[in-house]
Amino acid sequence: MLPTGIATEGHPRAAPPPRAEGSIRRTTSIDVLHVQDPPDHVQFTCRGRDLLTGRDGHETISETSFTITMSKLDGIVDSVVVPHSSPEVHRLVGTGLRRGFRKAVAESAVAQPGSITAQLLDDLPVALIVSGYSTTVTDAQVREQPNLDRIGVCMGWRRGGTVDLELAQSGTIPIPHGPVVPALEDQDAAASHRVPSLDHHAVRRVRRTDVIRDIRGWRVDASFRDSHTDGTGTETVIHEYDLRAIVDSATDEIVEAIATPRVLPYLECPVAAAAAQNIIGIPASDARRTIPSLISGTASCTHLNDLLRTLADVPALGRHLS
């Protein structure tokens, strides 16, 4: 029998691993803030950088930033500010973010596959879902209107699990409160792109993908974290996962994938980590298309699936190491 209950502990990282010689590191961040200027909107501030590390130092290969604003009323993107990115992102104005967004992005070719911009856009729909944590912990009315259609969507929302049992008992979703984000121990100023302090009541999704060439092909060390800052400025972790993988650079095949949960909301959630084995043997470049059919329902974790999807960018990143 699987455990149930809210997870109260975790093991968030205090620092990323050191950058390796002969590696490329992609870091991205999405800050999500529910704003009232304009009224009833959600603002996504997206940033990212690819950094190549060699014997003689490091070099920024690519850097991106843009801000997207969405109306809460209809879920439509109505503003895109692009100070440092591909101007094609402006074409997202008028696109619905709640349903079919990833398909719309792919069909409109607003971002080059494998690029930072494409990665950030791929993350937006789930970043929007995670941002609901901010309103849930501050607005009792939200807690009274759970989405029952989500039962069965993932391990944490399985029938008979923590969420399902609490809904049956009280009619509300159990709200986890994760560990405080640890003070940064890394002294490497180039470890990540610039990430400012998170606004109060905002949610942040950060990613890191290291690709290192070794005798087996491309070795991948990746991680992601969702966090939230409350009204006092305290930032806590909502979700955090690590991923280690090997991609055969000659065949594009994923030959190893090990996911390690660090912080998750419910006690049964870590069980989904074993599903990472399902992607062994698939082409890395095809990960975004095939993973939804390979890992789904109560065997899955939405956020782990999103981390595994980033393996699709490994061939594009690995080409910088040739």
Q: Examine the pLDDT at 6 and tell me if it is beyond 90.
A: no
Q: Which of 43, 31, 51, 32 is nearest to 193 (CA)?
A: 51
- CA nearest neighbour of 308 among 264, 268, 260: 260
Contact in structure between 93 and 80 (CB atoms under 8 Å)? yes
Q: Is the pLDDT of residue 1 over 80?
A: no
Rg, the chain, Cα only:
19
Instruction: Enumerate long-range contacts of 149-155, CB under 8 Å, 24 or more apart.
Output: 152/297, 152/298, 153/297, 153/302, 154/272, 154/297, 154/298, 154/300, 154/301, 154/302, 155/268, 155/269, 155/271, 155/272, 155/298, 155/299, 155/300, 155/301
pLDDT at res. 142: 44
Calculate the alpha carbon distances from 48 to 113, 258, 270 in Å.
15, 25, 28
Query: For a pLDDT cut of 90, what percent of the chain falls above it?
Result: 68
Q: What is the C-alpha separation between 300 and 94, in angstroms, rounded?
A: 31
- Structure-model confidence comparison of residues 264 and 108, the more confident one: 264
Q: For residue 116, what pLDDT band results from cuts at 50, 70 and 90?
A: very high
As a whole-number percent, the residues of the chain with pLDDT over 70 amount to 94
**What residue spans define the domains of the chain?**
23-321
- What mean pLDDT comes out for the span 136-141? 63
Q: What was the pLDDT predicted at 139?
A: 62
Tell me: the pLDDT tens digits for 199-224? 999 999 999 999 999 898 999 999 99
Q: Are 137 and 230 in contact (CB under 8 A)?
A: yes
pLDDT digits (tens, 9 = 90+) for 32-63: 999 888 788 999 999 999 999 998 899 999 99
DSSP labels, 250-275 = TT-BEEEEEEEEEE-SBTTGGGGGGG
Across 91-116, average pLDDT: 90
Angle at 64 between CA 200 and CA 118, to 5 degrees: 100
Indicate the burial class of 76 (C-beta count within 10 angstroms; 0-12, 13-18, 19 or more). Answer: middle
Tokens matching residue 192: 């990540």
Q: Cβ distance 217 to 252 under 8 Å?
A: no
- Greater pLDDT, 110 or 255: 255
Tokens of residue 45, six digits = 């501030």
Residue corresponding to tokens 């159990």 = 174
Structure tokens at 52: 């190549």
Predicted local confidence at residue 94, as pLDDT? 93
Does residue 12 contact residue 262 with C-beta atoms inside 8 Å? yes
Task: Please tell me the predicted confidence (pLDDT) of residue 153.
Answer: 85
Q: What is the pLDDT of residue 170?
A: 84
> Cβ neighbours of residue 157 under 8 Å, at least 6 residues apart?
150, 151, 163, 164, 298
- For the segment 9-15, the average pLDDT, to the nearest whole number, is 89
Q: In terms of Cα–Cα distance, which of 129, 98, 95, 92 is closest to 111?
A: 92
Mean pLDDT, the chain, integer = 90
Is the per-residue pLDDT at 140 higher than 50?
no
* Closest alpha carbon to 193 in 27, 15, 306: 27
Predicted confidence (pLDDT) per residue in 141-187, tens digit: 444 455 666 788 888 888 888 888 888 888 888 888 899 999 877 77
- pLDDT for res 144: 44
